[in-house]
Structure 1
Amino acid sequence: MADEYFLLVCDDVPHDVVLTDPGVRMLDVAPVVRRLTGLSLWRSKVLATQVPAVVLDGVPREEAAAAVVALCDAGARAETREQPEPEFLKH
């Protein structure tokens, strides 16, 4: 029997957190990026300057929303984006 994959209705669609603008307080945004990603401070600063940048990839909706709030509180602009449905699930 062939392997089949199903996306259950109860499954949370993974979200990405995208940093769209670090704002004028980029030095306040870099530590938040560091806390969210676990990267070094230097790599977090580089990531924050290369916008648009995916800060978190494939996280649940609640975690993505909390990350966006943390980034916005630091002076950045960020958004959540639903990940597209995988090709093998499309019919």
Structure 2
Amino acid sequence: MAGEYILLVCDDVPHEVVLTDSGARVMDVVQVIRRLTGLSLWHSKLLATRPPVVLLSHLPPEDATAAVSALRDAGARAEARQQPTPDFLKP
């Protein structure tokens, strides 16, 4: 079955959370990233200082919106995007 792919059809298109700017309160954003991702403080700080970066992927739309809201409350700019279609599924 190697080389064969199965496309599952579902109601919700998976989303990803993208950090576009950390803003002025970087440490607050680092704490939110740490809470959302479960990463260490050091890894969270690396992500916060190198935008744009995808923080979370394969999320339902509601969870992605909640994560973006938490990041914006901490002073960051973030957005929820629909995940792109993989190349092997494109016509």
1:54 counterpart residue number? 54
Structure 1 runs of 4+ off > 2 angstroms?
Answer: 3-8, 85-91
Q: Give the direction of change, closer, same or farther, for the CA distance of 1:4–1:38 in structure 2 (3 Å limit).
A: closer
Q: Which runs of 5+ in 1 are unaligned?
A: none
The secondary structure found in structure 1 opposite 2:71 is helix
Match of 2:85 in 1: 85
Evaluate the alpha carbon distance shift between residue 39 and residue 4 of structure 1 in structure 2; reply closer, same or farther with a 3 A threshold. Answer: closer
Distance 2:38 2:32 in 1: 10
- Using the TM superposition, give the Cα deviation of residue 4 of structure 1 relative to its aligned residue in structure 2, in angstroms: 6.8
Q: TM-score normalized by structure 1?
A: 0.86
Q: Quick one: distance in 1 between partners of 2:70 and 2:52? A: 17
Residue 12 (structure 2) aligns with: 12
| TM-score scaled by length of structure 2 | 0.86
**Which one-letter code corresponds to 2:34 in the other structure?**
R
CA distance in 1, matches of 2:12, 2:33: 24
Q: SS at the partner of 1:66?
A: helix
Give per-residue Cα distances to partners, 1:29-71, cap 9 Å, x unaligned.
Answer: 0000000000001110111001001110111111000000000
Q: CA-atom RMSD, angstroms?
A: 1.5
Q: Output the CA distance in 2 between the equivalents of 1:42 and 1:6.
A: 37
Q: Structure 2: where are the runs of 5+ without partners?
A: none
Question: Structure 1 residues 58, 4: CA separation in 2 closer, same or farther (over 3 Å shift)?
Answer: closer
| Number of aligned residue pairs | 88
Q: Percent identity?
A: 64
Q: Is 2:36 the partner of 1:36? A: yes
**Contact 1:16 / 1:82 at 8 angstroms: preserved in 2?**
yes
